[in-house]
A and B are shown apart, each in its own frame.
Chain A
Amino acid sequence: MSTAVAEVPVESRIHYLNASYGIKSWLFTTDHKRIALLYLGSITLMFFIGGAAAVLMRLHLIEPAGALVQPETYNKLFTMHGVVMVFFFLIPSIPATLGNFLVPMMIGARDLAFPRLNLLSWYVYITGATFTLYALISGGVDTGWTFYTPLSSHYVNTHVIATALGVFITGFSSILTGLNFIVTIHKMRAPGMTWKRMPLFLWSMYATSIIFVLGTPVIAVTLFLLGLERLFHVGIFDPAIGGDPVLFQHLFWFYSHPAVYIMILPGMGVVSELITCFSRKKPFGYIFIAYSSLAIAMISFFVWGHHMFVSSQSVYAGFIFSALSFAVAIPSAIKVFNWTATLYKGSISYQAPMLYALGFIGLFTMGGLTGLFLASLATDVHLHDTYFVIAHFHYIMVGGAVMAYLGGIHFWWPKITGRLYHDGWARVAAVVIFFGFNLTFFPQYMLGYLGMPRRYAVYPAEFQVLNVMSSAGASILGIGYLIPFIYLLWSIRYGPVAGPNPWGAKGLEWETPSPPPTDNFEESPVVPDEPYGYAKPEHAHV
């Protein structure tokens, strides 16, 4: 715990947070750590905007006839929820905040390879977010986050262009981030930091960056074509004037399915770090966990057709896409098994970050296995566009990606701010989120299996019990998300001083003071040995 004596040296030390003051020192910073915090602030705002839309939806669905809003408004709510959460929260979440903060530190570099591009990526993100938020306040958009044509290009009269433009622009911020990470990891590793000595988080960042760089341009072009069709009424995707709506789906999912792995791969990287640290063990099968990240990134580009089993795609293409989708389960399962094997005979401690990591393993496994139901041709026909799909991808994206994001934020918070948060509250919040999440989304599996379609503002009365359960869970989940928001902010000012390595974790980022100096390290680090050198007896008391 902190004492006044311990606080003095931290306060008087120059670090990245107090190296300069004033709004300009933030808006024109090229320090990757400050840019990470700029992103953290912006995506938190977007998270709460997207969350507000979800809360309204769940309130509306308490009654079969709809309790709150007009059906048109309901359509706008789920579209905004999807667009904001996918493109403005989940995709940048871990890479742009923790990734930005940690990639240079974990490889022992002073900054990313292109610091100004990094700042530019934040401005690009903000510009994109502005367009989308403009669409939100000026009346919303009601196509669903997938912008399927010809609905989006011809039939609806809402702000499709502004929203699509926002997504289009934001894509470039992802590309810049990915490019920066790839170059940094390739070219800027400290002496001794070989590829196989890299922390697993970096392998996942590397895999994610490949998808950023190769996937994002495709969605950019697709949305551009959509805009052209909408503005000039040329038949690109609209069958009434000679276009092909299925081509839109192909191009859209060519990016948007890999985008799922953009969301989950960084989470897997975070969990690999958390599990090893709080089990005090080397990861079981380091090289398998590392390569499985690359395998997931690679296979992710060849599975998009499983979104289109019922979209007039040929059944033979369906076979192939189904088989390839099953193939993704292999590297994913490798990770899950290796995490559990890492836990085996470890000295496990249940600090808050570890609770999130354990939650992640369970929820991700659920989400992943139910994904196989949807990758099977026959079951998908029954489950397609039902709440089963909603539950499945929320188990991956919220139960997986968001849990890992929160776990990572809790793990590296002392490094980022130099302060410790209240551990008791943090554990309470992790448990509340876990139960709230399951109560929200498990009933949706059942709803979907029973046949309730997604994206409807009303439903038959027999589904009410499960819907009310889901809404009740959503309110618990909402409170669960508010608790960390409060105690984390509180800790910045009142939290006890953390010291350089409060968890006894291994890795270069823990060998420098918290918060780190602007150049990250007082002297350039050299890496003499393998990562994760946890010696059990020494740390058994932690």
Chain B
Amino acid sequence: MSESAVNSGRLEATATHGVTPALHHQFEDIEQQREAGNFGMWIFLATEMLFFGAIFTAYIMYRVMYYPGFEAGSRGLEASFGATMTFVLLASSFTMAMSVHAAHAGKRRMLLGFLFATMLLGIIFLGLKFTEYTHKWHEQLVPGLNFHPAAESLRGAPEHAVELFMCFYFFMTGLHALHMIIGIGLLGVMAILAWQGKISPENYNRVEAAGLYWHFVDIIWIYLFPLLYLVGGRY
């Protein structure tokens, strides 16, 4: 064994506390790093829950206060759109789970495939969302910017309550869409890392954490869909 090889081996050992190169300096071992990463994501999701929780609270309160207007507003939404989007998202949750499985098993090509499938489904969801927003714009149901409801279904409903409903609709789905965009970006980063071969069974928890986030955003939609579209909606 040459002396330089011994030296470089020692250097690597001291620089990374003796384990794999993916270990960050503040952790003792890869197991600790993995647990910290996942735990951090769970804590972050707890924050997110309260974030959406406050909006859900406000929404439910106003739904009770202005029931007829909110009911009419729900009728103005297209449940078929919502159902399609729900289906797309559930499918994306499946491909996401498969990505985590692939990362854990160290199957790079499979990981890349499922990551791209998940991102694609996310983009389809956003496309549908955008189309739906355009419909709302044409129906003149955008509060603050273009709000002159003329639809048959809204006749007789108190206008300010419908406006409030649409306001919450855009706020909640918009915030959800923003989370989707962030999620797609996150998966893009994962795809690049996987492409570069930087995802291994030892640090697959990055994909797992991204997956937790993705599933969480899906779950938010699972609550948004019935709250906005189904309760007294058009179906």
Which A residues contact B (CB, under 8 angstroms)? 104, 109-115, 175, 179-180, 182-184, 186-188, 213-218, 220-222, 224-225, 228, 231-236, 241-244, 247, 251, 254, 519, 524
Contact = CB atoms under 8 A, between A and B. Distances in A.
A242 B40 contact: no
Contact of B61 (A216, A225, A242, A244): A244
Contacts of B43: 179, 182-183, 213
B144 interface: yes
Nearest to A116: B24
Which of B43, B53, B144 neighbours the largest number of chain A CB atoms within 10 Å of its CB? B43
A179 B47 contact: yes
Given A115-B26, A179-B44, A231-B144, A218 B39 contact: no
A247 B26 contact: no
B12 interface: no
A232 B25 contact: no
Contacts of A216: 47
The DSSP consensus for interface residues of chain B is helix
A217 B26 contact: no
A184 B65 CA distance: 44
Interface stretch (B89-97, B158-166, B211-219): B158-166
Interface string B147-169: 00000000000001101100100
Given A113-B26, A218-B54, A221-B54, A242 B161 contact: yes
A210 to B, nearest CB: 9
A220 B25 contact: no
Contact of A112 (B26, B28, B35, B39): B26
Given A111-B25, A113-B26, A188-B32, A232 B143 contact: yes
B55 interface: yes
Given A187-B39, A188-B32, A234 B51 contact: no
A215 B50 CA distance: 7
A251 to B, nearest CB: 6
B46 interface: yes
Contacts of B171: 224-225, 228
Contacts of A111: 25-26
Contact of A519 (B25, B36, B39): B25
- Return the 5 tightest CB-CB contacts between A and B, nearest first: A232-B144, A217-B51, A111-B26, A242-B160, A221-B54
A251 B54 contact: yes
A170 to B, nearest CB: 15
B145 interface: yes
Interface string B54-74: 110110011001100000000
A251 B57 CA distance: 9
15 contacts: A111-B26, A113-B26, A175-B47, A179-B40, A179-B44, A187-B32, A213-B43, A213-B50, A225-B58, A241-B160, A242-B66, A242-B164, A244-B61, A244-B65, A251-B57
Given A234-B163, A235-B160, 9 more contacts: A112-B26, A113-B26, A114-B36, A179-B43, A180-B40, A187-B32, A217-B50, A247-B58, A254-B54
A153 B105 CA distance: 54
A115 B36 CA distance: 12
Nearest to A186: B39
Contacts of B36: 113-114, 183-184, 187-188
Contacts of A236: 58, 164, 167
A111 to B, nearest CB: 4
B130 interface: no
A247 B36 CA distance: 37
B216 to A, nearest CB: 13
B51 A218 contact: yes
B39 A183 contact: yes
A213 B164 contact: no
Contacts of B160: 235, 241-242
A234 B143 contact: yes
A166 B46 CA distance: 23
Contacts of B32: 187-188
Contacts of B54: 217-218, 221-222, 251, 254
B178 to A, nearest CB: 12
A392 to B, nearest CB: 27
A221 B39 contact: no
B45 to A, nearest CB: 10
A288 to B, nearest CB: 26
Contacts of A104: 26
Contacts of A213: 43, 46-47, 50
Contact of B62 (A109, A115, A182, A244): A244
B27 interface: yes
A150 to B, nearest CB: 14
A205 B53 CA distance: 25
Contact of A214 (B24, B27, B40, B50): B50
A214 B61 contact: no
A244 B50 CA distance: 21
A213 B164 CA distance: 29
A183 B40 contact: yes
Contacts of A243: 164
A232 B145 contact: yes
A242 B159 CA distance: 10
A214 B46 contact: yes
B26 A109 contact: yes
Contacts of B145: 232
Contacts of A224: 171
Given A236-B164, A519-B25, A114 B46 contact: no
A80 to B, nearest CB: 26
B144 A247 contact: no
A220 to B, nearest CB: 7
B76 to A, nearest CB: 16
Nearest to A32: B26
Contact of A218 (B25, B26, B53): B53
Contacts of B46: 213-214
Contact of B25 (A110, A233, A251): A110
B28 A234 contact: no
B144 A234 contact: yes
A251 B36 CA distance: 31
B36 to A, nearest CB: 4
Nearest to A104: B26
A519 B50 CA distance: 35
Given A244-B61, A244-B65, A187 B35 contact: yes
B111 to A, nearest CB: 24
Contacts of B65: 244
Nearest to A220: B51
A244 B61 CA distance: 10
A114 B43 CA distance: 13
Contacts of A235: 160, 163-164
A38 to B, nearest CB: 18
Contacts of A241: 160
A228 B145 CA distance: 12
A258 to B, nearest CB: 11
Contact of A233 (B57, B58, B144): B144
